[in-house]
Amino acid sequence: MADVTVSDNPREARQANEHVADLMAFIEASPSSYHAAAEVAARLAAVGYTEQRETDPWDAEPGGHYLVRDGAVVAWWVPDRVGERSGFRIVGAHTDSPGFKLKPEPTTGAVGWQQAGMEVYGGPLPNSWLDREFGLAGRLVTTDGRQVLVATPPWLRIPQVAPHLDRSVGESLKLDKQAHLLPVFSVGRPGLDLLALVAEQAGLDRADVAAHDLFAAVAERPAVFGPRSEFLAAGRLDNLSSVHAGLVALLAAEEGDDVLVLACFDHEEVGSGSRSGAAGPLLEQVLARLAVSLGLGPDAYQRMLARSTCISADAGHAIHPNYASLHDPDHRPLLNAGPLLKTNANLRYTSDAASGALWRRACRVADVPVQVFVSNNAVPCGSTIGPMTAERLGVVMCDVGIPLLSMHSTRELAGTRDPGWLAAALTAYFSGA
């Protein structure tokens, strides 16, 4: 990996180098939401956090705990004493990214080619998947109910049609999601079974696999580039940049009166409506069971929620130099100019005056610059886990994240300074700012 130079200050440059290098390693270890949850859990376990199984009695002992549910993970730190001044300080993020998911019976093909049947997952930029090698990553569930994580080498590719065959592709590329996005994985081998190959990669027999959740996983490694090493290119920066920053912050935070919570949900890119998504009960169940195990009654728990706050961390948009007219003319965030505070009058983001002031306090304590993102009125605004979390919990919330270009591409573009700044601000928030 190239050295990352993002500051003339040697100490700041060294810290940015270390953070970006660790983020890149985290992304490589997390080719699917299931792998991301497992990587967060492994890093927590390595520093003494205790795994909480949902079927076991709840452990409210002081210290660190974590719970994994499918492709989601929730971690929390209980201080030595939870009292009348305590609340929850929550950072929320998501582990999934747009792309393609393997269909239940995936092996298909045409005119001598062996191809993979895949569904579009979320809202990827399909053109960014053309002529790019990728593997499959996710989980296999065996006939006896065991779950096995698997990540294959780069076996697949969606080939682009040559302009000699279709002169229109150079002017207006139109991709039919059913007809044009089937990747090839072999040729002239009609008996080859893709799922059997994946099972073999996981050390299983094809007959052992009852079901699967497998996603396209780009093989190209993250990279730092530019004459001053100021850019980071990688897949899944939306939103592993926030998952990683939240994890770093949780482990670096100073203990206070509040219970610290990191909630990394799955399925945000498809609406969050699942048992491991932010619209589901996962976070509520964790907080409620924790409150009961701490000896809090219903009213005491509600009082604790009233003292609580949550930061929804999800990547946002930097201004695009080739499409500047799509951005608000008075709000033009750049890479390497600080994390975004995301606002929207129609509550697609949760930030308001109170929560925005909270974020600015955290950034001021951490000496982190703040940029504000607001959409052009003529351009539809995206959303995050923020609104549904606020609706479920009723806590003060804001939406933040690092700025990106090429969001939802297989190779998103970030600045090398912003990820470390996001982690620093979240650390200050967790520490009581």
Residues 206 and 293 in one domain: no
Residue 433 DSSP SS3:
coil
CATH, residue 39: 3.40.630.10
Q: How far apart are the first and last CA of the chain?
A: 35
Query: In this structure, is residue 362 part of a structural domain?
Result: yes
Query: In this structure, is residue 226 part of a structural domain?
Result: no
Residues 165 and 286 in one domain: no
**Res 350: pLDDT:** 95
**Res 169: pLDDT:** 84
Residues 272 and 398 in one domain: yes
Residues 85 and 125 in one domain: no
Residue 48: alpha-carbon gap to chain centroid: 24
Query: In this structure, is residue 304 part of a structural domain?
Result: yes
φ/ψ region of 374 (left if φ > 0, alpha if ψ in -120 to 50, else beta) reads: beta
180 contact partners, CB below 8 Å, separation of at least 6: 158
Query: In this structure, is residue 225 part of a structural domain?
Result: no
Domain boundary (161, 190, 218) is at 218
Domain boundary (188, 218, 248) is at 218
Residue 395 DSSP SS3:
coil
**Res 8: pLDDT:** 58
223 contact partners, CB below 8 Å, separation of at least 6: 1, 2, 232, 233, 234
Residues 69 and 119 in one domain: no
**Res 11: pLDDT:** 74
Spans of the chain, pLDDT less than 70: 1-8
Read out DSSP for 28-48? Answer: HT-SSHHHHHHHHHHHHHHTT
Residues 200 and 127 in one domain: yes
Q: Is it true that the peptide bond before 239 is cis, omega within 30 degrees of 0?
A: yes
Residue 167: alpha-carbon gap to chain centroid: 38
Number of domains in the chain: 2
CA dihedral 406, 412, 415, 417 (to 10 degrees): 140
What is the helix (H) or strand (E) element at residue 399, kind and residue range?
Answer: strand 396-401
Domain residues for the domain of 176 are 99-218
| pLDDT tens digits, 403-419 | 999 999 999 999 999 99
pTM score, whole prediction: 0.95
Residues 208 and 276 in one domain: no
Residues 133 and 58 in one domain: no
What is the helix (H) or strand (E) element at residue 360, kind and residue range?
Answer: helix 353-366
| pLDDT tens digits, 296-343 | 999 999 999 999 999 999 999 999 999 999 999 999 999 999 999 999
Residues 84 and 174 in one domain: no
Residues 285 and 403 in one domain: yes
Query: In this structure, is residue 83 part of a structural domain?
Result: yes
CATH, residue 122: 2.30.250.10
